[in-house]
Every structure is written in C-alpha cells, then in structure tokens.
C-alpha cells in the first residue's frame, strides 16, 4: 500500500515519485480514506494567487474517517486516554465506541442550538475530553471550529471571535493547571461584552467555580447532553469546505485566522502521523501540546484518530505535583511515543535527574520534538535520559500554516542528526532562497526556507483577508511559499532550521508576533514608542526584550512600577505568555531614513553582542546605538 514507508530505500523511491507525479502520488494516499464520493481532480493550484484546490469533487466527513470507520475493528479500543491534572483523579479511557456516542450527542446539541454548516464556533476550554469532543462535534455537523488556547486573555478572545464572527462559544466554569484554577467563564464574560455576534454560551462543568450565569445566553452542557439523541448522521462536506480556523500571530497587530479545509488536511495529517511516527496498532501516543495550538489539532486529535490510534490528553503541567509528572505518566500508561517541545525538555533537564530515573520508561519507542529549534544539549539529554539511546528522535519542522509536518525524520528510517529536522516528507519540495530572490543550490548553504509546490495540508487563506495571505507568504518569492524561517542544508541534503527571519519570536515554543505586543505596550499612557526583539534564553529558547521610549510625562516615574504595569497590559491584551523578560527605557530607537526601526541592531544589543552592528550608514540617528548599549539591562 502506498500509505506506509518501511525503509530508507522506500522513502527515496517514493520521494522521487512524489515529485515526478504529485497528483498520482497524493491520489493513491487519499485512496486509503473513506469518501462519500471520490474526487474528480487531485490538485488545481496557482501559487501567485495562492489558490489551492485538493481533491475537488470529493465528498466526505472527517469524523467518519476519524471515528465511525474504526467502529468495525476498534470499537473497544481506547481512542482518548485522559490523564487529569490531579494525579489522584482517575484517568479515563474513552473507547472509539464511547467517543462516537459522545461526539454524536454533542453534534446534536450544537444543531439544537441553531448551529448549521459553515457557522463559526469558538471553543475556549481546558485540556479535558470535552475539548476534543467539541472540536469533533463541530466537524461532524460542518461547523467551523475556532479553538482559542485557554491561556489567552479576554481581549485576545474577543478579537478572535469578532474576526470570524462566531455565533456560539463553548467554555467551562474553570480549568485546572497545576495548583492553580483559572476562571475561564469570567474571562469569556468579559470578552463577550464586546461580541454582539455571540448569542449562546455552552458551559462545561469542570472546577465547580462559582460563575455568573446569564439566563437566555448560558446553558450547562451537561443538561443539554442529557436530552440529546445518540443518533447523528455526519454532514457530507465538499473536499474544500472549511474545517477550522486557527489564529496565529503575525507582523501586524491583527491575528491571522489560518483557514484549513476538509480533505487535504485529513489526507495530510493522517499520512504524516502514520509515517513520521511509524505508529503501530498497540502503541500509545502522547503529544503534550495543547489542542489550542496546531500541534494539538493535527497530532493529538485528527492525525492520531484518523489512524485509529490511542491518543493521550493531559490536562496538567510538567511540574505538578512535582517534576516527575511526565515520567510518571509514561510509566503509568506505558506510553510508546512522546511528542513534546524543546522548552519542556530543557526545563525538565535542569531538575534533578532522579525525577527521571525514578520511573520505568522502557515502554518508550519513539520521541518527537516540535515548535522551535532543538539545541544540541537538549537533544542529547532527551536521547540519553528519556530515550535511553534506544528511541529515534523525530525533530519535526512545520507551522500552523502548513497543517502538518513538512520536514522530519521518519522514525527508525531516516538516520537522525542532532539539531537537524533532516529531510522533507514525500511530496514536499523545500528550497533555500537568498535575499535577492535567487535560489541557493548546493551543499552547506544557508538561506530563507521556501516550499516550491503545494502539499494537501497547506492553509487555503487567512479568514476574511486573502490579500494578506498572498502578501505574507507568496509575495517575497514569486511562485513559492515563504515560511519565514531560515535554514541550513548540509552535505547530504539534511535541513537544520536556524530560526525566524521575520518579526516573529518563538518563546517557549509559542509563536509571538512582536507587533501585537508592541501595540499593547503603546497603550500605556506613559509610553511613546516601543520595539521588541527576541534574545536567547536557556529554558524558553527565546525571551522578549523591550526597548521603550517614554513620553515626557512618564520619565520621572518609578521604572520598576512601569515595567510591571506594562507587563500587566500585555497579559490583559494577549496573555501571560507574551510578557517581557527585560525592559530597557531608551531615549530613541535606531531608525533608517525611511523611519524603519533597525531591529537587527536591537537584537544584537539584547544578546549582549556589541562587536559588529554591520552597516549602519542608513541610520538617521547612529549616536543612539552607543547610548542604548550603555543602558542595557
Ligand atoms: C514556527 C511555527 C507546528 C509546530 C508548532 C508551532 C518554529 C516549529 C520547529 C522545529 C525549528 C521549529 C518555526 C516555525 N518551529 N517546529 N522542529 N525546528 N523550528 O507552530 O506556532 O505556527 O510556529 O515554529 O520557526 O516557523 P507555529
């Protein structure tokens, strides 16, 4: 079957075929899924206009593929293994049969609340089974889910709800995270003051936190579920019908609602899950991301369930009740695949090694890394102490925009090399470009990473703003998708991702655009102007350094107080993840004659590297550079 790659020879053979005859290649993969009607045309596209149509004419429902299809042979198999925040609370094994029933019931609840195909539903839930079930229930009835990570603030939720005009919000009374309880409902209440488009809120009970119940708008999910039918026929969707919107930050203040559609996303996540992780029937797969990010969408949920896998859903954090939590969970549930982020690895590696050694990790077969470049030290620690040198590490490079993994070793097949994401997935054509728009060929070269040909998982547009989609990804290098990342290609063709080359900073694996954070800072009445850059941080990978110019009125104020107020503003506007580690008040910023801030210089200063600022001849105010260096915090 074309679906699974078994060895390196297979990979190279398939890779060559996938490039020569991409339509035939993806068509054969798509044949492994269940369709209500087969497609007429595998692919139609135009890279300049950023138009992609995969499997046109095909009809299907992704939940039929992710759930119903498994009822024949896997009905009693655990689909979702829920591990609660509190280790004393019992884990839940939700079988495919039970998942089917619960998704059908919730799908019927949504329908009864007036949600129909194409409506947008905002989901703001902690990592509990109802989150997975809500997402799947939307997909089942053809409603477009927009999951907002439950760490985002009220104004961040409001911006996302308004942008895509959501009709209904699914949330909970609260969420548990380590020893904290987060009042999700009151955050939603605050957000909804600004959102007239939302007329209903469905509430899951999790923490028993007292809430402000608004009659006529709020409904307890439990009560609605009690009266809802267990029979639900999935909505038959067109291949290119929108499946979901997921927001990611970018180079302007407005979040980008990345749109993914049904068939291409299904084929791509199903295919990459199987091949990258080499999942086998009895394996237990744990991806530690939150479903609020693309990693959770694609590999906790869709990719895993499409393969009939057992997928772990963990509510808590790696440090609660102690630093042994991850290792305890692996031991307890005999986990075979651990897929986590370098920032988590680094933060656990700095704790006493006894936390790891206390537990039996012999069930582990394959380790994964995602979200940011993994440094050599973290890679080896992961390999030695977690994998005991027996587990291949798949360093998977991809983005919210790509839907699924684009560059990664295939576990046990592609020889790994620390810090390298290695080779492209079949069908994916990476290339490196220089700043002048020329392709950089050959070995041992660095450039801007682009992709030369569409793959089924590529985002189709930015919700409501196709021009911005074209401008952001398809303008810099005509005919190519530009990733925003830099990469190095070695002598055997392996890729190592070197990091962002634009104004996005990856902090603890979270993609943060500097512009929305600057917008939040600039709302402080004492702030005149600000510029943010990322600087290397031992645990987080990068942290944020803010250079801030105060208005005259702010100059005499207590600077530490101001720093706190600024971080509070950021927390309120975006969420605590976007807080600044360092704030330096400056008299000016290095600007070019055209008024552009030269961030390259600020980046060097924040790193403490004052040796060579490169060409500063275009600066309007070169003297400011020395002054900023002197005041570095
Ligand atoms: C950016 C995308 C989809 C993964 C979760 C983050 C960085 C992601 C790697 C990796 C080096 C990586 C890139 C990318 N990134 N994975 N294995 N090695 N960098 O998704 O929030 O859309 O962020 O994360 O810079 O562009 P995202």
Q: What is the pLDDT of residues 95-125, one digit of tens each?
A: 999 999 999 999 999 999 999 999 999 999 9
Q: Of 606, 588, 595, 594, nearest to 528 (Cα)? A: 588
Average pLDDT over residues 339-361: 96
Average pLDDT over residues 606-628: 87
Q: Which CATH topology does 503-630 take?
A: GMP Synthetase; Chain A, domain 3 (3.30.300)
Which range is least confidently modeled, 80-84, 161-165, 205-209, 616-620? Answer: 616-620
Q: How many CB atoms lie within 10 A of CB 581?
A: 17
Given the CA of residue 294, which atom of ligand 1 is nearest to it?
Answer: 3
- What pLDDT, on the 0 to 100 scale, is given for residue 1? 40
Q: 342 alpha carbon to ligand 1 midpoint, in Å?
A: 11
Q: Best of 303, 402, 506 to mutate for ligand 1, by most ligand atoms within 8 A of CB?
A: 506
Residue nearest to atom 3 of ligand 1 (CA): 399
| Ligand 1 near 370 CB (within 6 A) | yes
The dihedral sign for the CA sequence 346, 348, 353, 359:
negative
Asked if 543 and 581 touch (Cβ cutoff 8 Å), the reply is yes
- What pLDDT, on the 0 to 100 scale, is given for residue 617? 77
Q: 485 alpha carbon to ligand 1 midpoint, in Å?
A: 9
Asked if 174 and 184 touch (Cβ cutoff 8 Å), the reply is yes
d(CA 218, CA 258): 28
What is the token pair recorded at 298? 């694609």
Residues 6+ apart with CB under 8 A from 561: none
- What pLDDT, on the 0 to 100 scale, is given for residue 228? 97
| Ligand 1 near 269 CB (within 6 A) | no
Which residues belong to CATH 3.30.300.30 in the chain? 503-630
Q: Of 226, 216, 215, 218, nearest to 170 (Cα)? A: 218
What is the token pair recorded at 355? 């936390």
Q: Best of 268, 403, 497, 510 to mutate for ligand 1, by most ligand atoms within 8 A of CB?
A: 497
What is the token pair recorded at 234? 């999935």
Considering the domain 8-359+372-487, what is its CATH architecture?
3-Layer(aba) Sandwich (3.40)
Q: 500 alpha carbon to ligand 1 midpoint, in Å?
A: 9
Query: What angle is formed at CA 320 by the lines to CA 316 and CA 323, rounded to 5 degrees?
Result: 120
Average pLDDT over residues 409-413: 98
| Ligand 1 near 296 CB (within 6 A) | no
Q: What is the pLDDT of residues 148-201, one digit of tens each?
A: 999 999 999 999 999 999 999 999 999 999 999 999 999 999 999 999 999 999
What is the token pair recorded at 509? 């694996």
User: Does residue 594 carry a pLDDT above 80?
Assistant: no
C-alpha 148: how far from its chain's center?
11
Which range is least confidently modeled, 128-137, 455-464, 516-525? Answer: 516-525
| Mean pLDDT over each residue of the chain, to the nearest integer | 95
Which residues belong to CATH 3.40.50.12780 in the chain? 8-359+372-487
Q: What is the pLDDT of residues 509-537, one digit of tens each?
A: 899 989 889 989 999 999 989 999 999 99
- What pLDDT, on the 0 to 100 scale, is given for residue 251? 66
Residues recorded for the chain: 633
User: Does residue 2 carry a pLDDT above 60?
Assistant: no
First to last CA, the chain: 59
- What pLDDT, on the 0 to 100 scale, is given for residue 4? 79
Asked if 297 and 57 touch (Cβ cutoff 8 Å), the reply is no
Res. 553 pLDDT band, cuts 50 70 90: confident
Which range is least confidently modeled, 4-8, 63-67, 279-283, 349-353? Answer: 4-8
């Amino acid at each position: 079957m074309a679906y699974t790659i078994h060895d390196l020879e297979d990979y190279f053979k398939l890779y060559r075929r996938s490039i020569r005859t991409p339509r035939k290649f993806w068509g054969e993969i798509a044949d492994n899924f269940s369709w209500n009607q087969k497609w007429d045309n595998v692919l139609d596209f135009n890279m300049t206009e950023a138009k992609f149509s995969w499997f046109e004419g095909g009809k299907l429902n992704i939940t039929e593929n992710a759930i119903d299809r498994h009822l024949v042979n896997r009905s009693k198999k655990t689909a979702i293994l829920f591990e609660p925040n509190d280790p004393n609370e019992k884990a839940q094994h939700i079988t495919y049969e039970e998942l089917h029933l619960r998704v059908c019931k919730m799908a019927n609840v949504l329908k009864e609340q007036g949600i129909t195909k194409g409506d947008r539903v905002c989901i703001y839930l902690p990592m509990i089974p109802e989150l997975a079930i809500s997402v799947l229930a939307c997909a089942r009835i053809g409603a477009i889910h927009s999951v907002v990570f439950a760490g985002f603030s009220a104004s961040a939720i409001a911006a996302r709800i308004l942008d895509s005009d959501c009709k209904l919000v699914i949330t909970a009374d609260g969420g548990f995270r380590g020893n904290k309880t987060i009042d999700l409902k009151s955050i939603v209440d605050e957000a909804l003051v600004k959102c007239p488009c939302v007329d209903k809120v469905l509430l899951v009970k999790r923490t028993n936190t007292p809430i402000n119940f608004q009659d006529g708008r709020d409904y307890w999910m439990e009560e609605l579920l009690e009266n809802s039918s267990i029979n639900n026929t999935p909505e038959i969707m067109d291949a290119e019908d929108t499946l979901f919107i997921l927001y990611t930050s970018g180079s302007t203040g407005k979040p980008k609602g990345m749109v993914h559609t049904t068939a291409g996303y299904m084929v791509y996540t199903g295919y990459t899950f199987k091949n990258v992780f080499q999942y086998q029937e009895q394996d237990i797969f744990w991806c530690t991301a939150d479903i609020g990010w693309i990693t959770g969408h694609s590999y906790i949920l869709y990719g895993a369930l499409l393969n009939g896998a057992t997928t772990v859903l963990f509510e808590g954090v790696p440090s609660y009740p102690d630093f042994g939590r991850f290792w305890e969970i692996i031991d307890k549930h005999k986990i075979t695949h651990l897929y986590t982020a370098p920032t988590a690895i680094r933060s656990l590696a700095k704790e006493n090694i006894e936390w790891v050694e206390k537990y039996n990790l012999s069930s582990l077969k394959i380790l994964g890394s995602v979200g940011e470049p993994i440094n050599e030290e973290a890679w080896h620690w992961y390999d030695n102490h977690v994998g005991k040198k027996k587990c291949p590490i798949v360093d998977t490079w991809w983005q919210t925009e790509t839907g699924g993994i684009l560059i990664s070793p295939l576990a046990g097949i592609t020889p790994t090399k620390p810090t390298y994401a290695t080779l492209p997935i079949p069908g994916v054509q990476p290339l490196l470009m220089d700043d002048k728009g020329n392709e950089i060929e050959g070995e041992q070269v660095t450039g801007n990473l682009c992709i030369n040909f569409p793959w089924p998982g590529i985002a189709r547009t930015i919700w409501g703003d196709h021009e911005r989609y074209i401008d952001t990804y398809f303008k810099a290098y005509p005919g190519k998708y530009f990733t925003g990342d830099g990469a190095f290609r070695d002598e055997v063709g392996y890729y190592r991702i070197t990091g962002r080359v634009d104004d996005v900073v990856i902090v603890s694996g979270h993609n943060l655009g500097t512009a929305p954070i600057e917008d939040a800072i600039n709302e402080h009445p004492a702030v005149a102007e600000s510029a943010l850059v990322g600087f290397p941080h031992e645990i987080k990978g990068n942290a944020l350094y803010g250079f801030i110019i105060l208005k005259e009125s702010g100059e005499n104020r207590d600077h530490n107080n101001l720093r706190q107020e600024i971080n509070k503003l950021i927390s309120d506007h975006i969420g605590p993840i976007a807080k600044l580690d360092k704030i330096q008040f400056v008299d000016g910023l290095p600007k070019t004659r055209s008024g552009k801030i030269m961030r390259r210089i600020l980046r060097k200063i924040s790193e403490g590297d004052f040796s060579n600022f490169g060409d500063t001849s275009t600066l309007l105010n070169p003297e400011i550079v020395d002054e900023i260096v002197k005041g570095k915090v």
